[in-house]
Structure 1
Amino acid sequence: MSSSNNITAFLNFLAFMCSIPIIASGTWLASNPDNECIHWLRWPVVFIGIAIMLVSLTGFIGAYWKKEGLLGVYLVCMALLIVLLLVLLVLAFVVTGPTGDYMVPGRAYRDYRLEGFSYWLRDHIVGPDNWGNIRACLADSAICSKLNNQYVTAEQFFAADISPIQSGCCKPPTICGYQYMNPTLWINPTNAVVDVDCSIWNNDPNQLCYNCDSCKGGLLGNLRKEWKKSNLILIITLVILISVYLIGCCAYKNTLTKSNSKGKK
C-alpha cells in the first residue's frame, strides 16, 4: 500500500473518531430543554456528525483496500461534506456573534436586549413569522414554572445563575423596577415607562414576558451560549476533513495510476 493510502486510511479513521464527539455534541444541543422550541436548529450538528462517520468509513475502506470506486465516491461526498460543514460554521458564527446581554448590579444573571443580536438572527429566528409558534411553545413548557420550585426568597433568586431564556422570558427587565414576590410574580414597577417591555409584563403564567423583546433576546442568548460550545469541535473537524480530502486525492491518483499500469500489462 502506498504511503498516501496509509495516511488517508489513518486520517479517515481519525475523522471517524472525531464524528463521535460531534454527534454527542449535536445530541446534547438537540435534547437540551431550552432548545425545544426552535426545531430547525436542533439537529444539523447530529446529521453532520453521522455523515462524517459514514463518509470517513467509506474513505478508510477505499484507501486501505485500494478500492478505486469507493475512493471516487468518498472524494465527491467528502467535498460536499466540507461545503456543508463550512455552511454550518458560518451559521454557528452568526449565532455566536454579537450579543445583547448586559450585567445588572446586584444580580448573578444578565438581562437581554434584542437589539444587540445580529439582524439575521432577529429576522429569521425570532421574526414575526416564527415567534407566534415559539411563544406558544415557551408558554406550554416548564422553563419558567420550575423556577418557583427552585427559589423562594429574592436573595436566592438574585444570586441564581438562571438561563438566558429564563432571564428574558420569566421575569420583567430589571430596569423596570418591579418588586419581587416570587420568580414569576412581580408587582409595583417604579420605572414602568423606561422600556416598552415594562408594560408588556404580565403575571399571568401564560403571558409573563413571552411577548417581550427581552424574551426574544434571551432565546438568542441561550442559542449563542450553547452553540459556542460546539464551535471548537466543528473548527477542528473541518481542518481534519480538509487535510484528509487533500491526501485522499493523492491516494485516489495513486490507485488510478496503479490500475492503469496493470491494465497496460
Structure 2
Amino acid sequence: MKFSNYLIGVLNLATIGLSVPIIGGGIWLATKHDTDCVRFLQWPIIIIGVFLLIVSVAGFVGGCFGISCLLWIYLFVMFLLILSLLCFTVFAFVVTHDGAGHALAGKGFKEYRLGDYSTWLQNKVDNMKNWDRIKSCLSDTQVCNALNEEYPTTDAFSNSQLSPLQSGCCKPPSACGYTFENATLWVNPTNLSADRDCLLWNNQNLCFSCDSCRAGLLQNIKQDWHKAAILNAVILIFLIVVYSIGCCAFRNARREGAFSPYGKGYV
C-alpha cells in the first residue's frame, strides 16, 4: 500500500523532470534569432511544458500524501496533456516535412523557394502585416552585415556556406544574372523575368521583401522546429510509459484500499 503511494510519487517526480526539457526546447527556440521573429512557434511548446510541470507537481503531492482527489485530477488531466502533446508532435512533423534547399552548380550555398514549404507555414509569412513585422525583426538581427568582410571576392562568395536566411534575404536569386560587386551589392541583371524576386531586389533593402527571404526563414524554422519535434516525440514515448505504470500503480493502490475517489483516506 505504501509502496504504491511512493511509486506514484516517484513516477510523478519523473514527469516533473520531463517537463524541464520540454520547456527548455521552447526557450531554445525563443533564443534563435529567426524563430524569435516568429513567436507563434515556440509558445505551444512552452505552454505544454509548464502545464505538465504543474500537473506533475499535483500528482507528486497526491501520491506522497495519499490525497486521492489530486491523483484523480492528475490522471485525467495527464491523459489530456499526453493527447495534446501527441497531436502537437504529429502536427509539427507534418508541417516541417516539406521544403529543402536547391543546390546550384558551382555554388557552395543553396537557394530556397517559398512554394516548397507546407501551406500552413506559407500562410504565416504570406500575410503582409505579419511579414512587415517579421522583416523588420530580421533586419534588426543584422544577418547580412558580416558577409562583405567574410566573402570579399566572387570566388569566395560562390564557395560560401550561406545560411538559409543569408541566401534568401541578403542576395538576389542567381537566376536573375546580377553581377557581384560585393556580398550585398549586385548590379546589371541580365534576366529580370527569371523570378519575381529579381524585381524586388535592391541594394538598400536587399531581398527582405523577396519570397526567397520568406523561404529562407521557413527553412530555418523547419530545421529548428523539427529538432524540437523529435525531442517532444522521445519525451512523449517516455511519458506514455510513465503514465501507464502510474495507472497500474494507482489501480493496485485502490485494490489494496489505499485511495478513495472521494478524498484522502481508505476505502
Shared fold per TM-score greater than 0.5: yes
Shorter-chain TM-score category?
A: 0.7 to 0.9
Distance change (3 Å), C-alpha of 1:223 and 1:119? same
For residues 1-265 of structure 1, the aligned pairs below 5 Å read: 1=1, 5=5, 7-204=7-204, 207-257=205-255, 258=257, 259=259
Taking only aligned residues, the RMSD between alpha carbons, in angstroms, comes to 2.5
Equivalent residues of 1:176, 1:198 under 8 A apart: yes
Indicate the SS of the match to 2:37.
coil
Any idea what SS the aligned residue of 1:57 has? helix
Partner of 2:34, secondary structure, is helix
State the secondary structure of the residue aligned to 1:39: coil
Please state whether the residue corresponding to 1:181 is helix, strand or coil: strand
Aligned length: 262
CA distance in 1, matches of 2:94, 2:125: 12
**Percent identical:** 42
Cα deviation for residue 157 of structure 1 reads 2.7
Asked if the contact 1:68/1:256 (under 8 Å) is kept, the reply is no
1:2 CA drift (Å)? 6.2
Please list every run of 5 or more consecutive structure 1 residues that lacks an aligned counterpart in the other structure.
none
SS of the residue 1:189 aligns to: coil
Counterparts of 2:4 and 2:97, CA distance in 1: 39
Counterparts of 1:143 and 1:84 in 2: how far apart (Å)?
35
After TM superposition, give the deviation of residue 215 of structure 1 in Å: 1.1
What TM-score, normalized by structure 2, do the two folds share?
Answer: 0.86
Aligned partner letter, 1:148: N
Q: Unaligned 5+ residue runs, structure 2?
A: none
TM-score between the two structures when normalised by the length of structure 1: 0.86
- Give the partner amino acid of 2:11: L
Residue 182 of structure 1 and its aligned partner are, at CA, apart by: 2.0
Check the 8 A contact 1:197/1:214 in 2, yes or no.
yes
**Residues 4 and 250 in structure 1, CA contact (< 8 A), matched pair in contact too:** no
For the 8 Å contact 1:168–1:217, the answer to whether it is kept is: yes
Shift of 1:116: 0.6
Farther off after superposition, 111-120 or 168-177? 168-177
Q: Is the 8 A contact 2:96 2:118 kept in 1?
A: no
CA contact (8 A) 2:4 2:253 kept: no
Structure-1 separation of matches of 2:30 and 2:135? 19
- Residue type at the aligned position of 1:107: K
Gap change, CA 1:55 and 1:162, over 3 Å in 2:
farther
